[in-house]
Amino acid sequence: MTLSENDPHTDALIDRARAGDENALAELFEGHRGRLRQMVDIRLDRRLRGRVDASDVLQEAYVNLSRKLDSYRTKEDLPFFLWLRLVTGECIIDLHRRHLQTAKRNADIEVALHQGPMPVTDSYSLAAQLLGKHTTASEKVMRVEAQVELQEALNRMEPIDREVIVLRSFEELSNGEAARALGVDPQVVSTRFYRAMRRLKALLEDGDVLPS
CATH at residue 54: 1.10.1740.10
Q: Which amino acid is at 111?
A: V
Averaged confidence pLDDT in the chain? 79
Q: Give yes or no for a contact between 200 and 154, defined as CB atoms under 8 angstroms apart.
A: yes
Q: Give yes or no for a contact between 178 and 167, defined as CB atoms under 8 angstroms apart.
A: yes
Quick one: which of 3, 13, 194, 178 has its CA closest to 82? 178
Using the 3D structure, point to which of 119, 149, 166 is the last residue of a domain. Answer: 119
pLDDT of 61 reads 93
Section 192-197 average pLDDT: 90
25 and 73, same domain (yes or no): yes
Domain membership of residue 137 as a residue range: 123-209
pLDDT of 59 reads 93
CATH at residue 197: 1.10.10.10
pTM of the model: 0.77
pLDDT tens, residue by residue, 48-97: 877 888 999 999 999 998 888 877 766 667 888 888 998 999 999 888 88
- Total domain count, the chain: 2
